[in-house]
Structure 1
Amino acid sequence: MSTVTTHVLDTGLGRPARGVPVSLSRITADQAVALGTGTTDDDGRITKLTPDGLEPGTYQLWFDVATYAATSGQDIFFPEVTVTFTITDERHYHVPLLLSPFAFSTYRGS
């Protein structure tokens, strides 16, 4: 079974984004099932969102950017970021998020 981790970096401030609430859900044809939540640590990371591994399927990470913006004293254009991705095998999936006040990007890391 697969695992998922994330790392949020504030590229506008040039540092890890500490305190970003994140949730992980499994997406099916008729519903989204919440699997786990966490908050980024001092290094901007969450290393464990679920107690068990994940089966192949479609998943979604939701980042509460508004909460982070309020605590970091920034005005950020996107109050939330949702990243939907597909797990196809038993590898580790690392999904980083790069934030700035008016943009964000993500990719599949390792």
Structure 2
Amino acid sequence: MEHTDTGWETIGRLHDWLHENSKYPPEQEVLLRVLKLSEEVGEVAQAVIGAKGQNPRKGTTHSWQDVEAELCDVIITAMVALRTLTPDAAEAFASHLDRVAARSLKG
């Protein structure tokens, strides 16, 4: 399957849909979107624990594909939160990624 959308177009549509269906003022939307990240990260942790079968009472409850899906949810949630902060989210992310790469991938 070929994807031509870098994701930001879809993120914009998700942001617009969430905004249109929000009952909160914009400043609360930002806070709630950022807090949503914590929830999603917790779901990644739960999936990893389940994939490793760490809880002897429950055993193996998740697969590594579940972990992948939860990580994707974290990325999507972060992208929507960034878009909520700025309409130039794609540019802000690309610029920051360039700075991190320049700092980390020297040589």
Q: Normalising to structure 2: TM-score of the pair?
A: 0.21
Write 1 or 2 for the structure with the bigger share of helix.
2
**Rg larger in structure:** 2
Which is strand-richer, 1 or 2?
1
User: TM (normalized to structure 1)?
Assistant: 0.21
